[in-house]
Amino acid sequence: MKIIQDLQEMTAWSKEQTVAGKTIGFVPTMGCFHEGHLALMRQAGELAGQVVVSLFVNPTQFGPQEDLAAYPRDFARDQELAASVGVDVIFAPEPEDMYPAGCNTTVTVGKELTGQLCGASRPGHFAGVATVVSKLFNIVRPDLAVFGEKDFQQLAVIRRMTEDLNLGVEIIGHPIIREQDGLAMSSRNAYLQEAERETALSLSRALAMARTMAADGELHAESLTATLQKFILSFSGTELDYISFVDQASLQPVVEIDKDTVLALAVKINGRVRLIDNGFVAGGEK
Ligand code: PAF
For atom 2 of ligand 1, the residue with the nearest CA is 29
For the Cβ of 262 lying below 6 angstroms from any atom of ligand 1, the answer is: no
Q: pTM for the full model?
A: 0.96
Q: Are 219 and 256 in contact (CB under 8 A)?
A: yes
Q: Is the CB of 30 under 6 A from ligand 1?
A: yes
Q: How much is the pLDDT for 284?
A: 54
Query: Is position 268 within any domain?
Result: yes
Pairing of strands 170-174, 144-148: parallel
Cβ of residue 133 lying under 6 Å from some atom of ligand 1: yes
Determine the distance separating the centroid of ligand 1 and the alpha carbon of 111, expressed in angstroms. 19
151: left (phi over 0), alpha (psi -120 to 50) or beta: beta
> What spacing in Å lies between the alpha carbon of 58 and ligand 1's midpoint?
8
Task: Determine the 3-state secondary structure of 113 from DSSP.
Answer: helix
Whether residues 90 and 162 share a domain: the answer is yes
- Do 244 and 110 have their domain in common? no
Q: In CATH, what number is assigned to the domain containing residue 203?
A: 3.30.1300.10
Residue whose CA is at the smallest distance from ligand 1 atom 8: 29
Q: Is 58 in the pocket of ligand 1 (CB under 6 A)?
A: yes
User: Which residue range(s) make up the domain with 262?
Assistant: 187-280
> Do 166 and 57 fall within a single domain?
yes
Dist. CA 30 → ligand 1 center (Å): 6
Phi/psi zone of residue 32: left (φ > 0), alpha (ψ -120 to 50 degrees), beta? left
129 CA from centroid of ligand 1 (Å): 6
Show pLDDT as tens, one digit a residue, over the chain (286 residues). 999 999 999 999 999 999 999 999 999 999 999 999 999 999 999 999 999 999 999 999 999 888 899 888 999 999 999 999 999 999 999 999 999 999 999 999 999 999 999 999 999 999 999 999 999 999 999 999 999 999 999 999 999 999 999 999 999 999 999 999 999 999 999 999 999 999 999 999 999 999 999 999 999 999 999 999 999 999 999 999 999 999 999 999 999 999 999 999 999 999 999 999 999 999 755 4
Active site residues: 37
Residues forming beta bridges with residue 55, ordered by sequence position = 29
Q: Supply the pLDDT for residue 151.
A: 97
State whether the beta carbon of 153 lies less than 6 angstroms from ligand 1: no
Ligand 1 atom index nearest CA of 58: 10
Nearest residue (by CA) to ligand 1, atom 6, is 29
Verify that 42 and 94 share a domain, yes or no. yes
Distance CA 43, CA 39 (A): 6
252 is in an annotated binding site: no
170 shares its domain with 192: no
Q: Which pLDDT score, from 0 to 100, does residue 186 have?
A: 95
Cβ atoms of 132 and 120 within 8 Å: the answer is no
pLDDT at 286: 47
In a 10 Å sphere around its CB, with 0-12 CB exposed, 13-18 middle and 19+ buried, how is residue 208 labelled? middle
Residue 17: inside a domain, yes or no?
yes
Residue 72 sits in the same domain as residue 202: no
Give the total number of structural domains in the chain: 2
Same domain, 158 and 42: yes
Predicted confidence at residue 31, as pLDDT, reads 96
Say if 52 falls within a structural domain.
yes
Question: Looking at the structure, do residues 150 and 274 belong to the same domain, yes or no?
Answer: no
Residue 248 lies in a domain: yes
Residue 286 domain-assigned? no
Domain end residue (candidates: 119, 147, 174): 174
